[in-house]
């Protein structure tokens, strides 16, 4: 009898898919399989495959063997990126892991749909509304979904409450934005790689230059009656950690109030202690009307996102207008609650402030020692980046590879900028190790 079913056996390195044992694959084999069977929509660092984690900030990775590239050698990597801020609480944070194990083995409620209530949803809503200081919360899964729902809510509030004529609502975004990969998110994007051949795009979007209050005022003066919201990252992460002037957000908040326009922050990357406050908007003493969060909301264990916001804005939703099979399902609710507990009880926002200062001071020292190579150091808390001058020999990808050889994982963004955003559990010695690696690499360029 022909056996054409997929055969799956074992765990870890003994995991075998149709007679191919994962532990036997070299880094090159992994790359070839990805190139053949994957979407080729990433260009990961070459010749390195992560196997497992050693502690909250240390990855164990496999590189080609020195004598035999068919085999691999294992080495440690200090994680300078923590999954683009999805693992703020550190890998395998004990509070979250214990909660998951306890929940699955003792409490026993993995999954039910939203059409029947489960008791952990109330707990999740209480925890998140208290943590965010917002009236209402709607759970989603990926970060982009939180932004997508924010977008919909802004439009609905625009029609139902602000009384913008039907189908005329405008959502304003900022140049250089990144909100994810859905059609609406790439409709707002001005990155040609993210948009190419994905049109036609969602209408009713206008962009203003980030951190330019005059441009925003001009647009609001011209089209304010049709504008439902300014939907924007408080600090632009993917654009290369672009930090606005201190007075920008207070001025924006005032302008939005004047024109009855919502301020909707995408805190998917900046939230959960990353910038030294629980949410980046708290750095500027402003409060958004809506806020999308993701990444660290799931503590690096599950994809969890949500929109939190004002009662009258989220209150425009009605049964049937929005939903998600896995948004706030019982296991996600539990992980989401303990992700907050870990963040709060371990004082991780405070640690981000202290270690962020250490990291930024160290990066600025390196910049001062190599003023012809590093153009700028930017950041808030542990969301930091250094930008190189735009010269071929200072290429960001080359720097990422060189850092890898120093035992550090960081990745360039936009060719010239290297982002450093480690777990908020990082200690002083690890920050020094990051800085020593950067100094060595920059010196050798
Ligand atoms: C600000 C911001 N919004 C949205 C997203 C999209 O999140 P996800 O990849 O989980 O959909 C990201 C991801 O990097 C982000 O940085």
pLDDT digits (tens, 9 = 90+) for 369-406: 999 999 999 999 999 999 999 999 999 999 999 999 99
C-alpha distances in angstroms, 426 versus 157, 226, 293, 367?
41, 46, 22, 22
- Residues 26 and 13 sit within 8 Å (Cβ to Cβ): no
> Which DSSP string do the residues of 330-370 spell out, in sequence order?
HHHHHHHHHHHHHHHHTTHHHHHHHHHHHHHHHHHHHHHH-
Query: Distance between CA 425 and CA 58 in Å, rounded?
Result: 11
Nearest atom in ligand 1 to the alpha carbon of residue 267 is 1
Q: Is 295 a catalytic residue?
A: yes
Residue 1 confidence (pLDDT): 47
Cross-strand pairs, 265: 232, 291
Residue 66 confidence (pLDDT): 79
Domain around 23: 8-52+66-73
Question: How much distance in Å is there from the Cα of 258 to the middle of ligand 1?
Answer: 30
Residue 388 placed within a domain: yes
Q: Is 178 a catalytic residue?
A: yes
The per-residue b/e assignment along 266-275, b for 16 or more CB within 10 angstroms, e otherwise, is bbbbbbbbbb
Q: Is 179 in the pocket of ligand 1 (CB under 6 A)?
A: yes
Average pLDDT score over the chain: 96
Q: Which of 124, 220, 266, 341 is catalytic?
A: 266
Cross-strand pairs, 72: 64
Dump pLDDT digits (tens) for 114-169.
999 999 999 999 999 999 999 999 999 999 999 999 999 999 999 999 999 999 99
81, 139, 143, best to mutate for ligand 1 pocket (most atoms within 8 Å of CB) = 143
- Residues 294 and 305 sit within 8 Å (Cβ to Cβ): yes
Average pLDDT over residues 296-301: 98
Strands (E), 356-416: 374-380, 383-388, 408-409, 411-413
Query: Distance between CA 334 and CA 127 in Å, rounded?
Result: 10
For the cut 60, the answer to whether the pLDDT of residue 244 exceeds it is yes
Same domain? 251 vs 365: no
Same domain? 229 vs 289: yes
For the cut 90, the answer to whether the pLDDT of residue 65 exceeds it is no
Q: Is 367 a catalytic residue?
A: no
- Residues 421 and 84 sit within 8 Å (Cβ to Cβ): yes
Q: Identify the CA nearest to 93 among candidates 337, 300, 399.
A: 300
Nearest atom in ligand 1 to the alpha carbon of residue 305 is 10
Query: Distance between CA 210 and CA 168 in Å, rounded?
Result: 24
**Domain ends where: 309, 328, 345?**
345
C-alpha distances in angstroms, 237 versus 234, 360, 399?
9, 16, 19
pTM listed for this prediction: 0.97
Split into its structural domains, the chain has a count of: 3
C-alpha distances in angstroms, 296 versus 4, 104, 162, 335, 400?
40, 21, 33, 11, 24
Same domain? 321 vs 440: no
Q: Is 142 in the pocket of ligand 1 (CB under 6 A)?
A: yes
Residue nearest to atom 10 of ligand 1 (CA): 143
Token representation of residue 412: 């360039």
Least confident among 70-79, 101-110, 233-242, 344-353: 70-79
> What are the φ and ψ backbone dihedral angles of 61, each rounded to 5 degrees?
-125, 165
- Residues 90 and 56 sit within 8 Å (Cβ to Cβ): yes
Same domain? 279 vs 168: yes
Q: Assign residue 292 a region (left: φ > 0; alpha: ψ between -120 and 50; beta: otherwise).
A: beta
Same domain? 340 vs 379: no
CATH of the domain at 205: 3.40.640.10
Q: Is 79 in the pocket of ligand 1 (CB under 6 A)?
A: no
Same domain? 109 vs 129: yes
Q: Containing H/E element for 79?
A: strand 72-79
Same domain? 183 vs 296: yes
Same domain? 193 vs 312: yes
Same domain? 398 vs 413: yes
Residue nearest to atom 3 of ligand 1 (CA): 179
Residue 244 placed within a domain: yes
Q: Which of 178, 210, 265, 306 is catalytic?
A: 178
For the cut 50, the answer to whether the pLDDT of residue 194 exceeds it is yes
Q: Helices H, strands E: what count in the chain?
A: 14, 18
Residue with tokens 């007679």: 19
Q: Is 276 in the pocket of ligand 1 (CB under 6 A)?
A: no
Going by pLDDT thresholds of 50, 70 and 90, the confidence category of residue 68 is: confident
Same domain? 338 vs 402: no
């Amino acid at each position: 009898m022909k056996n054409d079913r997929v055969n799956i056996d074992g765990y870890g390195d003994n995991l075998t898919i149709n007679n191919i044992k994962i532990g036997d694959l070299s880094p090159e084999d992994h790359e070839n399989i990805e190139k053949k069977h994957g979407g080729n929509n990433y260009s990961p660092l070459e010749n390195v495959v992560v196997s497992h984690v050693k502690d909250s900030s240390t990855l164990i990775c496999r590189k080609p063997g020195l004598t035999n590239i068919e085999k691999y050698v294992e080495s440690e990597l200090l994680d300078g990126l923590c999954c683009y801020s999805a693992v703020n609480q550190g890998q395998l944070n004990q509070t979250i892991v214990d909660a998951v194990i306890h929940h699955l083995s003792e409490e026993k409620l993995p999954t039910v749909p939203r059409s029947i209530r489960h008791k952990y949803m109330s707990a999740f809503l209480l925890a998140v509304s208290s943590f965010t200081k917002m009236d209402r919360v709607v759970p989603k899964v990926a970060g982009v979904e939180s932004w997508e729902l924010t977008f919909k809510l802004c439009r609905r509030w625009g029609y139902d409450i602000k009384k913008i004529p039907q189908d005329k609502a405008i959502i304003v975004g900022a140049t250089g934005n990144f909100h994810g990969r859905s059609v609406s998110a790439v409709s707002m994007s001005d990155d040609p790689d993210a948009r190419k051949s994905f049109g036609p795009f969602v209408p009713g979007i206008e962009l203003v230059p980030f951190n330019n209050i005059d441009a925003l005022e001009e647009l609001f003066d011209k089209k304010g009656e049709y504008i439902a919201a300014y939907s924007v990252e408080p600090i632009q992460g993917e654009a290369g950690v672009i930090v606005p002037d201190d007075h920008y957000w207070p001025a924006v908040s005032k302008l939005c109030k004047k024109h009855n326009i919502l301020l909707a922050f995408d805190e998917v990357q900046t939230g959960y202690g990353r910038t030294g406050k629980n949410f980046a908007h708290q750095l500027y003493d402003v409060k958004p009307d809506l806020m999308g969060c993701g990444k660290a909301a799931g503590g690096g264990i599950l994809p969890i996102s949500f929109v939190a916001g004002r009662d009258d804005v989220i209150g425009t939703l009605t049964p049937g207008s929005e939903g998600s099979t896995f948004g706030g399902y019982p296991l996600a609710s539990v992980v989401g609650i303990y992700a907050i507990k870990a963040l709060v009880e371990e004082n991780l926002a405070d640690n981000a402030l202290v270690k962020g200062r250490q990291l930024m001071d160290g990066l600025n020292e390196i910049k001062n020692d190599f003023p012809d190579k590093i153009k700028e150091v930017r950041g808030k808390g542990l969301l930091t980046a250094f930008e190189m001058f735009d010269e071929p020999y200072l290429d960001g990808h080359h720097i990422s590879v060189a850092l890898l050889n120093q035992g550090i994982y960081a990745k360039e963004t936009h060719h010239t900028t290297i982002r450093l955003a480690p777990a908020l559990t990082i200690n002083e010695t690890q920050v020094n190790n990051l800085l020593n690696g950067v100094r060595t690499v920059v010196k050798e360029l």
